[in-house]
Structure 1
Amino acid sequence: MVGKGFGAVRHRPLMILAAAMAVLGAIALGGLVFDDRSLVGAPIWLKPLKFTISVGLYAVTLAWLIGQLTRGKRLGWWLGTAFAAGLVLDMALLFWQIIGRGRTLHFNRETPVDQWINNMVANGAFTGWGATAAIAILLLFQRLPDRALSSALRAGAALSVAGIGIAMLMFGPDERQLAQFRAGEKPSIVGAHAVGVPDGGPGLPVLGWSTVGGDLRIPHFVGIHAIQVLPVVAYGLLMLARRYPVLESKFVRRNLVRTASVGFAGLLALLTWQAQRGQSIVRPDFWTLVTGAGIIAVVAAGATLSLRAPRPMHQLT
């Protein structure tokens, strides 16, 4: 069952995209070493490197998801191809704007070319978001041999769609930019990653997430990668079933995956709420900590009930 449920990866355009990201990632890594230019307080090659890694992993995951489809395979193939095309456009523009022109990519409206690139990148992102959302809907109608994997795929895809959608919160003007609009000015930057502080301030090493204010990149990142985390949880439970008999039941593994999905959704909501309040990820307040503790308690209770609940005989294997 492991090979049948977890092994199929059949989508050439997405795998070509992943291979291209591996090549570009190696180039970006070399750029970090040999190019000392910086942009908005960070090495100029850092953002391209992070995007190549994220897009490459996502492309492989999406190709694998499409390989799990038993219904709507042709539609899934075209959706994956649309995703690949949208991300090829985005990555080409990212390298042109950041490395070629030495200018910021997102939110930049300083010149007509900057604004055109910003709009085209948004179009590519929306194409990828729409394709992922459609694949998530397709997964609702699939019958997979492993119930835990089925739950993981559906919840992971849905949370990933939510994570991509969180990026839309970044594109609205912040208070400073709104004040410029009210004064009759046209700000060169509209939107921001950070909340309550300007972009480019103190941040976590490598990741760059703000350590002095809120940062919407955090829930965006966490949500996007639910599509990888939850299937890994399902696979991990299947492997542990070889040592722990209680996990041999598909019923138990499914419930544990559902519990993990609820916890992941709670974490995503918490991180979004924290960022929207302008609160740094490294300086949580009392209410953030209490909410986090509540999510942990719910997950712990759900896991305990999943392991102790009586299981119908036909669901024990």
Structure 2
Amino acid sequence: MYSMDGPIPSGFVGRRIVNELMQRQHVLTLYGFVMLALMVPTLVLLVLDARTIGDVNVWAKPLKFMASTALFSLCTAWFMGLLPPSVRVSPANWAMVSTLIFTSLFEVAYISLQAALGSPSHYNVTDAFHAAMFGLMALAAVLLVATQAFLAWQIHRTAVERPLPVFHQAVIAGLIMTFVLSTASGFMLGGNQPPTGVGLPLAGWHLSGGDLRPAHFLGVHAQQLIPLAGVLLVRQAPSRAGAALFAVILVYTTIWVLLCKLGLSGQGGY
């Protein structure tokens, strides 16, 4: 038995988090960990396979999508813990979970297949099949982030405490922003191919103009960043957390708008 009087061993904390995730939504939790596991062989392939697309290793995109999908799934599972247990297992929420898994799995699988073939997945309209798959990826992306808007509505509808606690407000805002901002930037990104080349380390972005991926990143990851801001505000400034959260949302959205303008200021392509 671990004593709760002294420091809690990191392994114990990790097990508590995993157990909590499993209780909140076990299917999404398992799916998230599968994606994390798939990153290991993908990372090995990235090291061993020197092929590139647009001067970037062919396995860089699958690796990033796996990481993003894992984080997206695990956070969704955690936020479902804000719902009453009976609501979590409702047919509507099982449909939401299924939509998240199938749409994200479709994207990861197709992107990985194209990487193995040494062929682009995005902006590949060389023939009818690849053009159709590019369109299906866009549809899958919209359906994927739409699950977050549905979850936001569920959390608001079933909340017992009124007014909503600041953390609940942050979660709802982050989920809605993920749907709205990522959908808007995704459509803009679909018509404006990013520049070629390595770009920033890890991310691969180009901040000199013509790259909408930084704005799209902010849109997708509002799901994590806005709730994280809510947690920090509640801990550091509990009496002003609500007003501060509104300011954070305003600043975050302003940065997203500026990044969209920067992304539309040039034209990439390869």
> Does the pair score TM above 0.5?
yes
Give deviations 1:243-298, integer Å, cap 9, x for gaps.
xxxx343xx22222222112111211221122222399xxxxxxxxxxxxxxxxxx
Of the structure 1 ranges 206-215 and 78-87, higher mean CA displacement relative to structure 2 is found in: 206-215
For 1:117, give the aligned amino acid.
M
- 1:17 aligned onto 2:31: yes
Q: Which residue of 2 aligns with 1:44?
A: 58
User: Quick check: 1:126 aligned with 2:142?
Assistant: yes
Corresponding letter in the other structure for 2:42: A
CA distance in 1, matches of 2:50, 2:267: 31
Question: 1:257 corresponds to which residue?
Answer: 245
Shift of 1:15: 1.6
CA offsets 1:210-247 (integer angstroms, 9 cap, x no match):
2443211111001211111121122223333xxxxxx3
- Taking a change above 3 Å as real, the CA distance of residues 79 and 211 of structure 1, as seen in their structure-2 partners, is same
State the match for 1:88 in structure 2. Answer: 105
| Superposed displacement of residue 91, structure 1 | 1.0
Percent same amino acid among aligned pairs? 24
Contact kept in structure 1, 2:145 and 2:178, CA below 8 Å:
no
- Partner residue of 2:179? 161
Deviation of 1:72 (Å): 4.8
Consecutive unaligned residues of structure 2, counting only runs of 5 or more, are 1-15
Q: For 1:215, which of 211, 229, 240 is the aligned residue? A: 211
Structure that is richer in helix per residue: 2
SS at structure 2 position matched to 1:140: helix
The 8 Å contact of residues 189 and 212 in structure 2, kept in 1 or not, is answered as: yes
Quote the Cα distance in structure 2 between the aligned partners of 1:248 and 1:207: 34
Residue 18 of structure 1 and its aligned partner are, at CA, apart by 0.7
Contact preservation (8 Å) 1:202, 1:211: no
Equivalent residues in 2 for 1:1-317, closer than 5 Å? 10-70=24-84, 72-73=87-88, 74=90, 75-99=92-116, 101-143=117-159, 147-165=165-183, 166-172=185-191, 191-192=192-193, 194=194, 199-201=195-197, 203-240=199-236, 247-249=237-239, 252-278=240-266
Larger radius of gyration: 1
Is 2:209–2:262's contact at 8 Å kept on the other side of the alignment? no
Q: Distance in 2 between matches of 1:159 and 1:126?
A: 13
SS of 2:123's equivalent in the other structure is: coil
TM-score, scaled relative to structure 2: 0.81
Q: Please give the alpha-carbon distance, in whole angstroms, between the structure 2 residues aligned to 1:59 and 1:31.
A: 24
Aligned length: 243
Q: Contact 2:59–2:112 at 8 Å: present in 1 too?
A: no
Rounded Cα–Cα distance in structure 2 between residues aligned with 1:103 and 1:33: 18
Q: Secondary structure at the match of 2:47?
A: helix
RMSD: 2.4
User: Kindly tell me: are residues 219 and 157 of structure 1, through their superposed partners in 2, closer, same or farther at Cα, counting changes over 3 Å?
Assistant: same
**Matched position secondary structure for 1:214:** coil
Unaligned regions of 5+ residues in structure 1, if any? Answer: 173-190, 241-246, 281-317
